[in-house]
Structure 1
Amino acid sequence: MFLLNTIYVDGNNLTLEELVKVARGYCEVEISQEAIQKVNKSRKYVDKIVEKEKIVYGITTGFGKFSNVVISKDQVETLQSSLIKSHACGVGNHFPVETVRAIMLLRVNALTKGYSGIRLSTLNTLVEMINKQVHPAIPEKGSLGSSGDLAPLAHMVLVMLGEGEAYYKGELLSGKEAMDKADIKPITLSAKEGLALINGTQVLTAVGALATYDAIKLAKLSDVSASLTFEALRGITDVFDEKVHLLRNHIGQMKCSKNMLKILEGSNLTTRQGEIKVQDPYSLRCVPQIHGASKDAINYVLDKVNKEINAATDNPLIFSDEDEVISCGNFHGQPMALAFDFLGIALAELANSAERRIERLVNPALSGLPGFLTEHGGLNSGFMIAQYTAASLVSENKVLAHPASVDSIPSSANQEDHVSMGSIAARKARDILYNTTRVIAIELLTAAQGLEFREDRRLGKGTRIAYEMVREEVDKLSEDRIMYVDIEKIINLVTSNKMINQIESSIGELL
């Protein structure tokens, strides 16, 4: 019997949408019956290794540089507990609750594949923490992204042991107090379990996966904000002709041109080639090429995310059917580090082009509109400093877009001599997403103001909805007022996804 609002995990079929439902929608989690059998089978094999005192990395040996140190049967539990305590070295702000929930779900999903040797009872404790909303306090910094996200994941496991700190019902408590209040019994780790819980890419993947989900929505909304500006500046729609884009044959470019035509359909503000002007500037004329490239990049990252959220990233991996344990490198975050660096660059370019359009809107030498979109310039500054803010965010993005994945610092006495820095790449992508979201919000607000100076306007099917939603939140700017209040209202509109959802429900799904 399947329960509503419950996500069933088996290690192979988790989707990004399900991840978001657990992370943000607080859906509960349950392990599938098939996965339970795989977990139990893998665990029996680990117990056999311990009983026979075979020398297997991480089960009967130390870790990293200490892999040549053999651990006796009576010390394997101490080994796992010591691992967690010593590796909990994170620093910085705590991850948001939604990120922590995503981390926990991804670790459960990876372990249910049945290649890690964890006990079902231990895994159920982590599931119970998700369902009862005990959220470990996990510092953002400290992972090299290889061997997995060791430090932050150790902070997650501390709470399972009744140690560390956790958030419960919005309050930061000791791990023991949080577990007690949620009526969850702390665990004692058995052989291999500590390593199984922390050796993987689930932190960097959780951060990057949520950013990817939001990036898909924001890329669509960037087409909407560009369309509003296109109308305010009387853009030429010939550039969206399908014939043009078929000749280049880039999927994202073709999708964007279709979006723009759909959003602008019915507008009387757009023009044809030669009616008013021969060509638009690149930030208008090349929207399909610029936005399309970012869409293609985001789709590339999405493919990597879909693979990684269902991947076995533990070390060693246990192949009980083959009577084999392989010490490997699936914990290495490089596949995702490169992808999340790419995601950050793609998002930064959406902001770059949007800021250039904002500048064209407020600059009377370029727009044909009143300077800074105010009727009484001099006495009022209008949207002058809104463009400054957008420029500041774009400049910060350029610093953040420097790739983390090209860096590596050897660790563990040079045993781990190449690391991915994937967690840094993921956090940078998240931060660029934050900035770009705000630049797009400023463009929406600025373009709506620009449209106030176009008489007898009839907006497109999509832009009309966007304009009206902006105006439901913020009135036309007739004289200067505190601008950050207006900007925050449109940021909230953007991050709620209400605008993109309403536009898609009215004119069809954007690409």
Structure 2
Amino acid sequence: MIEIDGRNLTLAEIVAVADGASVGLAAEALERIDASQASAVATASRRPVYGRSTGVGANKTVALAESGDADTHGLKLLRSHAVDAGNPLDRRTARAMMVIRLSQLAAGGSGISPVIAEALAGMINADAVPEVREFGGIGTADLPALAGTALTMLGERIPLGGGAVPFVLETWATSDALPFISSSALTIAQAVLAHQKVARLLDNAMAVAGLSFVAMSGNTEALSPAVAAAADSASITTAANTLRALVEGTVGEPARIQDPYCLRTLPQIFGSQAEELHALGALLERLVVAGNENPLVHGSQGDGSNDVAHHGLFQMTNLARRLDTLNLAIGAACATHLRRIDLLCDPSYTGLHPFLAEDGSGQSGVMMLEYVAAAAVGRIRANAQPASLQTVVLSLGAEEDASFASLAAAQLTSTVDALATVTGVELVCVVRALRQQGKVPQDFPNSMLRNLLTAGFELPAGMGDRDLRGDLEQAIRLIGEG
């Protein structure tokens, strides 16, 4: 069970909950939520509080007490904000969204009732997750996704996959409506899941590139300690040292005085991606325990007074930029991924038949795999177009910008799948090349490369022209599993 205390929640723990782990609210988290609610009530008794005593968006000037709608406004808000469209997101994403929102509520800045937080934890443990669709958020809080979650908790919507919520909230107070939906928990969830997949994938992609380096007798001078020390980034230094450790003792005399960029710049290729991955991870670790609620309920310097702050932290500008930058780093590396696949098919680099064919009779070998990889690269490059450059004006001009972090997170999710395909293609090709060169796993002193090639040798050994879809699917699974 993962304890939610509003202070610490790792990205790995979010993945664990997405995969089915249960959760529990820490006692101090419940105390913090309760104190936050009391503070919000006290503040609302002496001055207007957005969404609690007023309407939202362009209706922020409407006083609910004067409109006669104070008692029913919250439920109306949830119902009106729950609309989304497109394809339903998977169960893992919905569960990740729910645990992130629970962690944010446990931080104690929302002013929400502890009953709502406990009900959300119960939904996670019962695996009664809302059906959330892809279009709705624009990077300024995932209002439709969380409003739909609330309607599922109220029994007004059927959970994903059918069935019923094992317990149903009887009502939803106006004071709890906006505090529940004022969060980018869905966007953050998508970013966390994509980040964790990218982290595993890039480690494996570096190892596959190491195999390609060996198959093409790369020159290890590009990975030397002197080169690593001269790098302009600590991440590139680390990548050079890692790559040298991968291939050391396996590569003999270099085939060339200077390799093509796809081999010579491997430290930059993987180091730059690792650097952006780390920066995104650090931001996500902060966001999953941050109370970016609007308004933010807080106390004043411990003097017993209560207040709220109306702000714009829900505008996920930094998250959009970090996602864009990682997408860009991956997209920029794709030319070298494709080039390694191309050179593995070139007899002048491997000493084998063109396209790693069985013989020189004109067989196509792995020729079409290069086309598959190129198609996947096209998707990655399209995803690298910065989502954060987009903007929009909504709600009668009350909201004149948006970060579109939600789009950037969806782009990274798509990029992960496409990059797995590109890496899978390289794995199929390099395993085939090493087989034809007569190499075996025992030739590799480095355990990571030895284990990877051992797994790669589980691919079919036949070199004659045949349908390679199954080979590629198996390779992609190996890449994803690590």
- 2:480 pairs, out of 495, 498, 511, with 495
TM alignment of 1:409-424, pairs within 5 A: 409-424=392-407
Whether the 8 Å contact between 2:344 and 2:356 is mirrored in structure 1 is yes
Evaluate the alpha carbon distance shift between residue 417 and residue 81 of structure 1 in structure 2; reply closer, same or farther with a 3 A threshold: same
**Letter of the structure 1 residue corresponding to residue 11 of structure 2:** L
Q: Which residue of 2 aligns with 1:475?
A: 460
**Letter of the structure 2 residue corresponding to residue 192 of structure 1:** S
Deviation (angstroms), 1:49: 5.1
Q: Which residue of 1 aligns with 2:97?
A: 103
Q: Provide the C-alpha distance between the structure 2 equivalents of 1:366 and 1:471, rounded to a whole number of angstroms.
A: 21
Q: Which residue of 2 aligns with 1:61?
A: 54
- Residue 288 of structure 1 pairs with residue 274 of structure 2: no
Deviation (angstroms), 1:460: 4.1
Q: Provide the C-alpha distance between the structure 1 equivalents of 2:341 and 2:445, rounded to a whole number of angstroms.
A: 20
Q: Which region of structure 1 is more displaced relative to structure 2, 409-418 or 373-382?
A: 373-382
- 2:126 pairs, out of 113, 128, 132, with 132
Whether the 8 Å contact between 1:76 and 1:190 is mirrored in structure 2 is no
- 1:178 pairs, out of 164, 172, 177, with 164
Gaps of 5+ in 1: 1-5, 498-511
TM alignment of 1:273-284, pairs within 5 A: 275-284=254-263
Q: Provide the C-alpha distance between the structure 1 equivalents of 2:264 and 2:167, rounded to a whole number of angstroms.
A: 59
Deviation (angstroms), 1:53: 7.3
Deviation (angstroms), 1:456: 5.9
Q: Provide the C-alpha distance between the structure 2 equivalents of 1:334 and 1:378, rounded to a whole number of angstroms.
A: 57
State the identity as a percent: 28
Q: Which residue of 1 aligns with 2:282?
A: 303
Q: Which residue of 2 aligns with 1:500?
A: none
TM alignment of 1:233-382, pairs within 5 A: 233-267=216-250, 270-272=251-253, 275-320=254-299, 321-377=304-360, 380-382=363-365
TM alignment of 1:76-87, pairs within 5 A: 76-87=70-81
Q: Which residue of 1 aligns with 2:153?
A: 160
SS, match of residue 60 in structure 2: helix
**Letter of the structure 1 residue corresponding to residue 476 of structure 2:** I
**1:107-138: CA deviations, max 9, x gaps?**
01111111111111111111000001001100
Evaluate the alpha carbon distance shift between residue 80 and residue 257 of structure 1 in structure 2; reply closer, same or farther with a 3 A threshold: same
Whether the 8 Å contact between 1:223 and 1:259 is mirrored in structure 2 is no
Gaps of 5+ in 2: none
Evaluate the alpha carbon distance shift between residue 118 and residue 232 of structure 1 in structure 2; reply closer, same or farther with a 3 A threshold: same
Q: Provide the C-alpha distance between the structure 2 equivalents of 1:444 and 1:121, rounded to a whole number of angstroms.
A: 51
Q: Which residue of 2 aligns with 1:449?
A: 432
Deviation (angstroms), 1:222: 1.5
The count of corresponding residues between Structure 1 and Structure 2 is 474
- Residue 208 of structure 1 pairs with residue 201 of structure 2: no
Whether the 8 Å contact between 1:162 and 1:186 is mirrored in structure 2 is yes
Q: Which residue of 2 aligns with 1:14?
A: 9
Q: Which residue of 2 aligns with 1:393?
A: 376
Q: Provide the C-alpha distance between the structure 2 equivalents of 1:460 and 1:228, rounded to a whole number of angstroms.
A: 12
Whether the 8 Å contact between 1:312 and 1:330 is mirrored in structure 2 is no
Whether the 8 Å contact between 1:347 and 1:433 is mirrored in structure 2 is no
**Letter of the structure 2 residue corresponding to residue 342 of structure 1:** T
